[in-house]
């Protein structure tokens, strides 16, 4: 039986939407490679520079529900173009920043725009694609998503090595301008679909404050590891806990009509999968910051050399990602996560013991295996979230999952920076190797937590719909 050909108009719209997503996809992988230069040029500590990464990812989490509201009330094409313009403007401002405070501020606004683009990328494509063509279309346009972990560090490394770290932000400007022009010229309108919906500003502010307070408390503790539980650290952690309790009360008063309804967590699959997604964000995003630092500072690699050694991990992800969906269908989400977490753990432990002269061939093989495993962590858990939920709950549950995923990622880079700083200060050394090894150990522990959580997931698949 011949497969139905993908319509030309559909492919054109899909590629235009994917082009719009490329700057934000590459940005998240390029910045990590430039951390050393950022520390040097902006005269900032690792803890401060990581806020440029953490703030960006936290802003994406904040933007997800806000973007959903705007899509429901305004033309999606116009929302996308405004988000692209904002992303371009704050990319340039991030590149022009001459202090770490301005850099962090502009990165937060860049992340807000990036969150809009990320949600629009999925939502707009889903809205124009017939269900019977969705799988084939996604397999075609997912190529840039698969290539981003490979190309991002290399492009970023080349720009930093042969030009200046500022150009990893300036490069977004022409791409965004081209995308805006093509969208205005060729992309169809996406009329608003939910003008009656309301935005839960209070819930968003409470969850954002909770996450930021806990992360800031951890960072404050690491600045003085001999007095980790100092007054500042405890006060910010306490503030985060209080905001969490206020959110729980707010959820009760609103009868669950909030940005992240807590009633969903009564479902075992939803709770287990979201806990797993949170820790997967830490286990995945933390090493994205950690690996370039290890290769540059402990191995003496140049920026471009550190970027090139990361290619095997991206290749591993590229090989396994297309096969994960079939594995979920064949053996269930629980089994895929258990196997994947075991593979990732085995490929993370070697870095706990890696020194300044460990074989690069061995580490390249380990990185490839690590990439194979990481593709099978988040996707099965994202699938298992919806098993057992009513169809009417899926949109709100999906928003909650995206928030938790991004908050976990923001904790990842923060925890890595905290561990490295704490170890270096407590050992009174400028050699960061032991700090890196300890941070890899923390990442390995996160993978063990994910494996434990996986036992509470289901082995079911979502029922096929007509």
Domain boundary at 258, 273, 304, which?
258
Contact 193, 187 (CB under 8 A): no
- The pLDDT of residue 466 is 40
Neighbour-count burial of 266, counting CB atoms closer than 10 A to its CB (0-12 exposed, 13-18 middle, 19+ buried): exposed
3-state secondary structure (DSSP) of residue 376: coil
Q: Is residue 303 part of a domain?
A: yes
Domain boundary at 237, 258, 279, which?
258
DSSP state of 387: T
Tokens 């590629």 label which residue?
15
Long-range contacts from 136-142, C-beta under 8 angstroms, 24+ separation: 136/3, 136/6, 137/6, 137/10, 137/11, 137/14, 139/322, 140/6, 140/11, 140/14, 141/14, 141/15, 141/18, 142/321, 142/322
3-state secondary structure (DSSP) of residue 43: coil
- The pLDDT of residue 224 is 66
Token pair of 380 as six digits: 């099965």
Contact 291, 310 (CB under 8 A): yes
Give the span between the Cα atoms of 30 and 166, in whole angstroms.
11
Neighbour-count burial of 33, counting CB atoms closer than 10 A to its CB (0-12 exposed, 13-18 middle, 19+ buried): buried
Domain boundary at 219, 243, 258, which?
258
Q: Is residue 392 part of a domain?
A: yes
Token pair of 373 as six digits: 């495993």
Residues 173, 240, single domain; the answer is no
Residues 47, 180, single domain; the answer is yes
* Structural domain total, the chain: 3
Q: Is residue 4 part of a domain?
A: no
> What pTM does this model have?
0.84
Q: Is residue 278 part of a domain?
A: yes
**CATH code of 445's domain:** 1.20.1250.20
285-305 residues labelled b (16+ CB within 10 A) or e (exposed): bbbbbbbbbbbbbbbebebbb
Give the span between the Cα atoms of 389 and 398, in whole angstroms.
11
Contact 204, 58 (CB under 8 A): no
Q: How many CA atoms lie within 13 A of 107 on its CB side?
A: 24
Can you state the angle between helices 100-128 and 76-96, rounded to 10 degrees?
160
Please choose, from the candidates 33, 60, 21, the residue with its C-alpha nearest in 3D space to the C-alpha of residue 144. Answer: 21
Cα dist from 129 to 6, 132, 191, whole Å: 10, 8, 15
If one counts every other C-beta atom within 10 angstroms of the C-beta of residue 226, the result is: 8
Q: Is residue 194 part of a domain?
A: no
Residues 17, 51, single domain; the answer is yes
Residues 232, 277, single domain; the answer is no
- The pLDDT of residue 1 is 44
Token pair of 253 as six digits: 């008063």
Range of the domain at 325: 261-466
Residues 14, 95, single domain; the answer is yes
Give the span between the Cα atoms of 88 and 152, in whole angstroms.
17
Give the span between the Cα atoms of 51 and 31, in whole angstroms.
12
Give the span between the Cα atoms of 331 and 217, in whole angstroms.
41
pLDDT in tens, the chain (466 residues): 445 677 888 888 888 888 898 898 888 788 889 988 999 999 998 888 888 888 898 888 888 888 888 888 889 899 999 999 999 999 999 999 999 999 999 999 999 999 999 888 877 887 787 767 766 676 666 667 777 778 888 999 999 999 899 999 999 999 999 999 999 998 888 887 766 667 888 988 898 888 888 888 877 776 666 666 778 888 988 999 999 999 999 999 998 888 888 888 888 888 888 899 999 988 888 888 889 989 998 899 999 999 999 999 989 988 887 788 778 778 888 899 999 999 999 999 999 999 888 999 999 999 999 999 988 888 888 777 777 777 667 767 777 788 888 888 888 888 888 888 888 777 766 678 888 999 999 999 999 999 999 998 876 554 444 4
């Amino acid at each position: 039986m011949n497969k139905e050909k993908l319509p030309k108009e559909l492919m054109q719209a899909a590629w235009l939407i994917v082009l719009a997503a490329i700057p934000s996809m590459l940005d998240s992988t390029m910045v990590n490679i430039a951390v050393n230069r950022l520390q040097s040029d902006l005269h900032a500590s690792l803890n401060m520079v990581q806020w440029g990464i953490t703030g960006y990812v936290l802003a994406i989490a904040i933007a997800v529900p806000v973007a959903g509201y705007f899509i429901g009330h305004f033309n999606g094409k116009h929302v996308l173009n405004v988000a692209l313009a904002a992303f371009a403007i704050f990319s340039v401002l991030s590149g022009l920043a001459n202090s770490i405070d301005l850099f962090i501020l502009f990165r937060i606004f860049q992340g807000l725009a990036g969150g809009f683009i990320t949600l629009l990328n999925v939502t707009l494509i889903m809205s124009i694609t017939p269900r019977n063509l969705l799988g084939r279309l996604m397999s075609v346009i997912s190529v840039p998503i698969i290539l981003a972990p490979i190309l991002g560090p290399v492009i970023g490394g080349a720009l930093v090595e042969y030009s200046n770290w500022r150009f990893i932000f300036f490069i977004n400007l022409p791409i965004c301008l081209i995308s805006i022009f093509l969208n205005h010229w060729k992309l169809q309108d996406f009329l608003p679909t939910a003008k009656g919906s309301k935005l839960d500003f209070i819930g968003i502010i409470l969850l954002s404050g909770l996450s930021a307070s806990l992360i800031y408390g951890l960072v404050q503790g690491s600045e003085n590891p001999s007095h980790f539980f100092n007054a500042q650290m405890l006060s910010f952690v306490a503030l985060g806990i209080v905001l969490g309790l206020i959110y729980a009360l707010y959820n009760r008063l609103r009868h669950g009509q909030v940005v992240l309804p807590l009633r969903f967590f009564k479902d075992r699959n939803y709770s287990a999968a979201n806990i797993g997604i949170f820790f997967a964000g830490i286990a995945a995003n933390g090493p994205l910051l950690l690996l370039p630092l290890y290769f540059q500072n402990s191995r003496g690699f140049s920026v471009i050399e550190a970027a090139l050694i990361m290619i095997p991990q991206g290749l591993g992800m590229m090989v396994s990602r297309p096969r994960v969906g079939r594995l979920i269908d064949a053996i269930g989400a629980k089994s895929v996560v258990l196997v994947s977490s075991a593979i990732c753990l085995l490929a993370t432990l070697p870095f706990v013991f890696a020194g300044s002269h460990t074989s690069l061939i061995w580490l390249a093989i380990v990185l490839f295996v690590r990439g194979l495993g990481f593709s099978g962590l988040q996707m099965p858990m994202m699938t298992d979230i919806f098993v057992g939920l009513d169809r009417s709950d899926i949109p709100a549950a999906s928003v909650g999952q995206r928030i938790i995923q991004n908050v976990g990622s923001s904790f990842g880079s923060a925890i890595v920076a905290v561990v490295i700083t704490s170890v270096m200060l407590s050992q009174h050394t400028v050699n960061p190797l032991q700090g890196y090894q300890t941070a890899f150990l923390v990442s390995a522990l996160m993978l063990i937590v994910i494996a434990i959580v996986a036992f509470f997931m289901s082995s079911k698949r979502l029922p096929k719909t007509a």
